Structure 1
């Protein structure tokens, strides 16, 4: 096992030990509220149990999902109707990326699999474990390992096109990182830095540090960028694990602002606001242009909140008991609360048209329509 992979496993063990501590604070009780936002269930489906932070791939009206047991399926986002179904034949460690035609997942055996319309096209053995969902764009499949090595493959035949391997930190985070498109550029998280890569050649264009890690040891200095990143126009915002939240001008390759704040889950953002929960689930909202704090809320402390989604009126979070919270983006006040299947909401809620889609640990896929 390489030093980087050992480091990733060590970091995961440290984090897991912290989560399993008997002294973990009790979650804040749910407050009573008067609903100020109507929302109704639209459809639900099942993808099997999900033991990784699943972020579905949405292209047009096609929603592609993957379950931990290896099933891969495509649904109509507006109705939940199944379009096709496939199987990886083994457990999945990261999924799923799709451009609407091709869909790719990575198995726990470190194999990259690519499907077209439910048919397996090819497999490729990878050199390290993968926990970040592949990105499929421009008939290419991009993959980033826990060692932060980035590779590109031809989506049609699986031929490796390039590989980018850079010096990195001795420890890396066993949690999905940043791997996203931006115009003609591939954005990747490289430790606490957001890097721009030429998707055709695999060469570095620029990189910007979102956080400056500090600490007495390697675990405390762990500050990898947490995915998914949020893009609005030329601005891309992301969280650096337990270190900072920041926004980058991805056209110029320059840092706009960063705030030192802990936290482990992805932020939500748009042109007006960036919202996220810290390690204790204290929720903060920052002005997207300046980084100035707009408000903070302690209403959902220690409820193991998911990543954040921003709607026109609300910031949306899931929690460990399967509740979906709609909070006023002006004040943090509870506007609505919906239940799912009682298991934890995984990953980050997603917007699909006029619906909000959440996925639970039991594999429930729930679509709600705020009105």
Structure 2
């Protein structure tokens, strides 16, 4: 099992207290978030519906987001142990299932299977149409990332560095990939990403690994960042946020490190950019969108990594990984606001408030709708008019 870890972006960002034996940070040392300023919206965004989906993750720092597929929103709740399916158009409940587990990683869906993990290492697979249970399995540690489902395999990452492949049909374990983790890391795991028979994982040691999804054999690994500094804190180079896999290329960001472009064929580096981020990346056209650890939003050229623009109005607001909604990048923040930023020039375009509590999970987009959830379990759907 892992030694005590930090809450998401904890002491390094000066934003959250450390958990358990790791000690704590003092309130007076926390960098205050930038005050929101008035601006003239350039796009009309409306809330279509919102509802509670349970108690939420609260201070567990799981970044537990819903998943949207086939006109449905699937979400899981930690305390209630409930998985729920909602109509994506109006938020009405289609079905719900009590699992009696503390569900933690957020659900993954694909190939007619819905899978979710728990804080005690349980994995449960459900029928996404009805919620009926298909199988259960057990991994070696808590699951705080979303399973990936592709090529008939459910890929589950546990918090101790191991990755498991299960048959989607019956839960038979097909393979295990074991990789150690540093003694001190940020709280969080990047979710496995599957494409073309390969699953990609970002690790807390700053490396990206490619595994063959059929049998878990490692195809290549590439270092995104190397930990440097006098303390373990300085040497943390976690890759915890979402990576981008698209058109033969992968892009990943590390904490205390950089953004790296990687060729999927062999893992060859394409370019690097010195931007440190605890969150993930999103691809909007030919632009890579991210926020750095100070809350500055960047747009990087996909081909070269050069900066196209940056937006500093949301500094120290604990921004989520962005989602691409039309011609805008959307970030959640620590006060429950969603911010739409123009992909063209980086200007603030719209703002909506979902809740008074933070939005840490990555917003999800399907069609013209964006879905976001707060740490208190308030889920909302928004549309650009």
**TM norm. shorter chain > 0.5:** yes
Q: Deviations over 1:147-185 (max 9, x none)?
A: 221111122322211101135544444313141111111
Deviates more, 1:347-356 or 1:73-82: 73-82
Paired position in structure 2 for 1:92:
103
* Distance of 2:381 and 2:254 partners within structure 1: 29
Paired position in structure 1 for 2:74:
64
Q: Deviations over 1:263-290 (max 9, x none)?
A: 2111222341111111221111111111
Paired position in structure 1 for 2:40:
34
Paired residues of 1:313 and 1:328 also in contact (CA < 8 A): yes
* Distance of 2:99 and 2:241 partners within structure 1: 24
2:341 counterpart SS class: strand
1:92 counterpart SS class: coil
With over 3 angstroms needed to count, the CA separation of the structure-2 counterparts of 1:291 and 1:64, relative to structure 1, is same
TM-fit CA distance, 1:251? 3.6
* Distance of 1:230 and 1:364 partners within structure 2: 27
Superposition map of 1:297-312 within 5 A: 297-312=311-326
1:346 counterpart SS class: coil
2:227 counterpart SS class: coil
TM-fit CA distance, 1:134? 1.4
1:248 pairs with 2:262: yes
1:124 to 126, 130, 137: 137
* Distance of 1:241 and 1:60 partners within structure 2: 34
1:181 pairs with 2:194: yes
2:341 to 315, 322, 327: 327
Post-superposition, which runs of at least 4 consecutive aligned residues in structure 1 deviate over 6 A? none
1:149 to 148, 155, 162: 162
With over 3 angstroms needed to count, the CA separation of the structure-2 counterparts of 1:101 and 1:49, relative to structure 1, is same
TM-score after normalising by structure 1: 0.92
* Distance of 1:167 and 1:299 partners within structure 2: 38
Superposition map of 1:163-174 within 5 A: 163-174=176-187
Deviates more, 1:185-194 or 1:282-291: 185-194
Number of aligned residues: 366
Q: Deviations over 1:131-155 (max 9, x none)?
A: 1111222332111112221111122
1:231 to 240, 245, 261: 245
Superposition map of 1:270-285 within 5 A: 270-285=284-299
Paired position in structure 2 for 1:43:
49
With over 3 angstroms needed to count, the CA separation of the structure-2 counterparts of 1:14 and 1:179, relative to structure 1, is closer
* Distance of 2:276 and 2:241 partners within structure 1: 15
TM-fit CA distance, 1:348? 0.9
Paired residues of 1:59 and 1:100 also in contact (CA < 8 A): no
Paired position in structure 2 for 1:257:
271
Deviates more, 1:145-154 or 1:59-68: 59-68
Paired position in structure 1 for 2:353:
339
TM-fit CA distance, 1:14? 8.9
* Distance of 1:35 and 1:11 partners within structure 2: 37
CA RMSD of aligned residues (A): 2.1
* Distance of 2:349 and 2:89 partners within structure 1: 24
Bigger fraction of residues in strand: 1
Paired residues of 2:227 and 2:236 also in contact (CA < 8 A): yes
Paired residues of 1:185 and 1:196 also in contact (CA < 8 A): yes
Paired position in structure 2 for 1:108:
119
* Distance of 1:225 and 1:111 partners within structure 2: 24
TM-score after normalising by structure 2: 0.89
